[in-house]
Amino acid sequence: MIPTQIRHFRVNRASGADVLWLRDLLNREGNKLGTRFELNRDNTLTLDLD
């Protein structure tokens, strides 16, 4: 997954801090379902199903 944001009517890659926030949010909410997101070096997220 490539986290993005919309700014000035353009789609841009999310900042590093925003990617960390999104990862933490998805991990917290997905905990009940047994899912986990891993942060990659290029600031993308990979879904890991337990």
Query: What number is the average pLDDT over the span 20-27?
Result: 97
Record the pTM. Answer: 0.85
Query: In this structure, what DSSP letter does residue 40 have?
Result: -
CB 50 within 8 A of CB 4: no
Q: Are 35 and 29 in contact (CB under 8 A)?
A: no
What pairs with residue 46 in β-bridges?
38
Q: How far is it, in rounded angstroms, from Cα 3 to Cα 22?
A: 8
Q: What are the tokens at 40? A: 């990659």
Q: In the structure, what pLDDT confidence band is assigned to residue 49 with cuts at 50, 70 and 90?
A: confident
